[in-house]
Each structure stands twice: as C-alpha cells, then as structure tokens.
Amino acid sequence: MLPLWPTSESARLCATRPWAGFEPRLIPLPELVEVLLPQLAEEGIAVGVFFTPQGQGWPVTAGELRAQLMGGASA
C-alpha cells in the first residue's frame, strides 16, 4: 500500500510505526493521476489516503482514487 497525504505536514505527523524514518515527497497531481496511479493499478498496489498516526484512513484501489480525482462516479 502506498500512503498518501494532502500535505507534507500531515505526512510528517504520520511518519510513525511502519513509516518511521520516511520523509514525505511531493507528487504533483498530474504525475499522480497520469503516471503513478495507473502504474499502481497495473501492479495491484492499493493506496492509503490520509492515514492518521493511529492507522486510521481511507484504503482504496489506485483505479478508484484516479476516478475520484478525475471527477468520476463515487466508488
């Protein structure tokens, strides 16, 4: 699962447990939608959106997130 957060500050706050020691990296939206999400979908890798330090968040398939970001129907 690839974790994603809307801000670097949010990502830093959540850099605990499995993500301890990781540093956030900015992914421009066009790169996320056009390159990364299709690649993750092809490889069957899920996405974790806005997980909290307690591990709560929104797990979703890469295809579902891409559809949402492109204005598609709700998953």
Task: Report yes or no on 25 lying in a domain.
Answer: yes
74 within a domain of the structure (yes/no) = no
Using a 10 angstrom Cβ sphere, with 0-12 exposed, 13-18 middle and 19 or more buried, the burial of residue 47 is buried
Q: Is residue 22 part of a domain?
A: yes
What tens digit of pLDDT does each residue of 13-69 get? 888 877 788 889 999 999 999 999 999 999 999 999 998 888 888 999 999 999 999
Quick one: pLDDT at residue 75? 46
Residue 32: inside a domain: yes
Total of domains in the chain:
1
Percent of the chain exceeding pLDDT 70 equals: 96
Q: Which domain holds residue 8?
A: 2-69
Q: Are 10 and 56 in contact (CB under 8 A)?
A: no
Asked, for residue 75, whether it belongs to a domain, the answer is: no
